[in-house]
Amino acid sequence: MINIAWKQLEDKFEDLVSIRRNLHMYPELSFEEIKTPAMAAEFLTDCGLEVKTGVGGRGVTALLRGGKPGKTVALRADFDALPIEDQKEVPYKSKIPGVMHACGHDIHTAALLGTAYALSKVKEDLAGNVLFIHQFAEEVIPGGAKVMIEDGCLDGVDVVYGAHVLSTIPVGQIGYREEYLMAAGDKFEIRIKGKGGHGSMPHLAIDPVLVGSQIVMNLQQIAASRINTTDPTVVTVCSFQGGDRYNIIPDQAILSGTVRTFSKEARESAEKNIRNITESACKMAGAECEVVYEYGYPSVWNHPQEAQRVSRIAEMVAGKENVSEVPLQMAMEDFAYYVIERPGAFFLVGGMNQEIQATYPHHHPKFDVDERSMLQIGKMFISLVFDYLNNPSRQDSNKEIIQSV
C-alpha cells in the first residue's frame, strides 16, 4: 500500500509544483494569512477529509479516518512567509512587494497537501487516523503552534511528525537527530539612558554609545566562559541604535539581539548574565538601563524512538547512503510545542541544487529549493504513517515528555 500511495503522490507532482509556485507568487505574512489557509481547506475538503478552519486563529486541520480502527498520527506543515523582497529571476517570483517565501514553507504546505491526497486514496488500508495540521505564523513569536494546540489540535493525537526543507543539504538527502535538534530562541532589548552632549566635550556627558559598546563586548563572555562549554549557547547582538549626528552624543542607545540555547539551565543563565552585565556597565558609567528579555520558542527535542523510526524510514525512502545524523541546529522552530505535548520527531530534507541556483541560505532574498524535495517529504510522511499505524508492535513510543523551558 505504501508503494501505491507513493505512486499517487508522484502522479500529483506537477499539480503540487503549481500549488507551490502559486504560494510563492502570493505569499502572506505571519498572522495575516487569508488566502493560503482558504486554499488548503478547499483542497483538503476535495480530498474528502473532515476539515476545520480558524484553529487557533488562522490554522487548518483535516482528519482522515482510516478503514480500520487505531491510533492517530499528526503531520504538520507551516505556511507563513517573511518580510523580504524576492530578488530571484524566476517565473514564480513573488508578486507581493517586500514579502516572499524565503524559508520553504510553501514547499512544506504543498508537500503536506500531496500527502493528504495520496493517503486519501488508500485510506481503507490504514489502521487508524491521520490529522493534517496546516499551521500559520511560525516565523513570528509567539507563533501559531502554541495557540493551535491550546485550541485542541492535538486532541486524540498519539504521535506527531514534521519536516523542514533545507537549502544547505543536497536534494535527495535526509537528516535526523535524536533528542535535541533545534535551539530555543529568545529575544532581548537593552535600553541605555545616558546624558547627551557635544562630541568635543565627552566629560560633560554620559555616553550611551560607549556604554553600549562595552556591553556588546562583555556579552561575548556569556557563551565563552559563563555557561558550560558542553551546553551550546549563542548570544548575538544584531542591532545597535544610538545617535544620528557625527558630533552629538545622544541621550540613549538601544541594543537588541538573540539568544539560542538547548537546556533550561543555559537559557536561564544567559538571561541572568545579560541583565547583570548590562546593569554593572551602566552603574559604573552613571547611566540608567532597562533590559527586556522575551522567551521565544523552546528547543525541539525529538523523542528517541520516533527519531529512530525516522532514520529507519529515511533509509527506505532515500537509501542508507543519503541519510545522516545532522549536527545541532541553532535555528529555532515552534514545532517544539508539539513534541512537548506528544511523542514525535522533526526531520530535515535536502533542497540544495546548484544547477538551479538553489544554494542561498534561508531568509536570503534569493532563497529557493529544488521542488523534488516535496516528494521526499511526502514519501517520508506516507511511510511514517503506515509504519506507525499498521505495525502496533512499533507504537510503544517513549511516553515521558521533555520540557525544556
Residues identified as active-site: 80, 138
Q: Walk across the sheet containing 323-325 and list its strands.
A: 50-55, 59-65, 127-135, 68-78, 159-170, 344-352, 174-176, 323-325
Vertex 18 angle, CA 12 and 19, to 5°: 85
Instruction: Name 82's bridge partners.
Output: 100
**Interatomic CA distance for residues 46 and 85, integer angstroms:** 33
Query: Could you tell me the sign of the dihedral formed by the alpha carbons of 13, 157, 63, 106, in that order?
Result: negative
The contacts of residue 395 (CB under 8 Å, 6+ apart) are 71, 158, 159, 388
Write the CA distances from 289 to 241, 251, 252, 307, 367, integer angstroms.
14, 12, 9, 45, 38
Cell of 18: 503549481
Q: Is 294 annotated as a binding residue?
A: no
Q: Is 105 annotated as a binding residue?
A: yes
Q: Is 238 annotated as a binding residue?
A: no
Instruction: Name 164's bridge partners.
Output: 348
Place of cell 517529504: 377
Cell of 365: 532574498
Q: Is 164 annotated as a binding residue?
A: yes
Q: Is 139 annotated as a binding residue?
A: yes
Neighbours of 356 (CB within 10 A): 13
Q: Which residues define the annotated binding site for Mn(2+)?
A: 103, 105, 139, 164, 363
Q: Which residues define the annotated binding site?
A: 103, 105, 139, 164, 363
